[in-house]
Amino acid sequence: MFNQFKRLFLIFGTVVTAALFTGCSAQFWDEGAPPYSVTAPVYRLAGPDDICTGGGVFFDFYNKSEKEVVFINVCMNIYDSGTGGLAFAGASELTCGSSCHLRKSQKSNFCVSLDEYSLPGPDESLFIDNFFISRIEYSDGSCWNDRLGVYADLYRKEA
């Protein structure tokens, strides 16, 4: 009896696992290359012409799709360069959305504002790791998603 139960459980587990992995590409991320490219994100204090007042994470976003981008959502981890630990207590992964209007083949500079956090002093610095675009919305109402960070770039420096 116990062996029959083990066999049934193994078969059921295999079928469920296969069903989950078969649907993953459609559920969590789009297949193929992402419809954008980004430069390495950097933290810096804001200048007089920047959209952030204190400081933020700056990067360039290039729209490689045929559609107009109207919104992007960014996910990242931010670390203190001095300690190597998380820069902001209780904020292991930051997510931020930004409205925009980028036509096909257009590039724009973005700033993810960190003004709501306690920013480091001028002698301290932050670095970004596991940076990825998690969602892109287009003017036609369609979306591109990467909820799992499949296209994440790792920028963490080794100490």
Domain assignment of residue 154, yes or no: no
137/78: higher pLDDT: 137
Q: Are residues 111 and 136 in the same domain?
A: yes
Total domains in the fold of the chain = 2
Of the candidates 135, 141, 140, the one whose C-alpha atom is nearest the C-alpha of residue 30 is: 135
What b/e sequence results for 61-94 when a residue is b if at least 16 CB atoms lie within 10 Å of its CB, and e otherwise? Answer: bebebebebeebbbbbbbbeeeeeeebbeeeeeb
Assess whether pLDDT exceeds 80 at residue 53.
no
Q: What percent of the chain has pLDDT over 70?
A: 71
82 in a structural domain? yes
Q: Is the pLDDT of residue 25 over 50?
A: no
pLDDT one-digit tens code per residue, 145-157? 998 889 887 765 5
Q: 24 and 45 share a domain? A: no
Distance CA 80, CA 113 (A): 16
The domain of 24 spans: 1-30
pLDDT digits (tens, 9 = 90+) for 101-137: 999 999 999 988 887 877 666 556 788 889 999 999 9
Residue 68 or 149, more confident: 68
Distance of alpha carbon 121 from alpha carbon 40, whole angstroms: 22
Categorize the per-residue pLDDT at 86 as very low, low, confident or very high, splitting at 50, 70 and 90: confident
Domain co-membership, 6 together with 76: no
Are 86 and 126 found together in one domain?
A: yes
For residue 66, name the pLDDT band (cuts at 50, 70, 90). very high
Question: Does residue 152 lie within any of the structural domains?
Answer: no
Name which of 80, 74, 46, 81 is nearest 60 in CA terms: 74
**pLDDT-based confidence at residue 23 (cuts at 50, 70, 90):** very low
Span 88-112, mean pLDDT?
88
- The β-bridge relationship of strands 55-63 and 42-45 is antiparallel
Tell me how far apart the alpha carbons of residues 96 and 77 are, in angstroms, rounded to a whole number.
12
7 and 26 together in one domain: yes
Structural domain contains residue 155: no
Global pTM?
0.72
What single-letter DSSP state applies at residue 49? Answer: T
Nearest to 63 by CA among 98, 94, 100, 26: 100
Q: Edge to edge, what strands does the sheet with 94-102 contain?
A: 94-102, 69-80, 126-138, 143-145
Residue 155: predicted pLDDT: 65
Q: Which of 36-40, 71-75, 124-128, 144-148 has the lowest mean pLDDT?
A: 124-128
**Whether 54 and 4 share a structural domain:** no
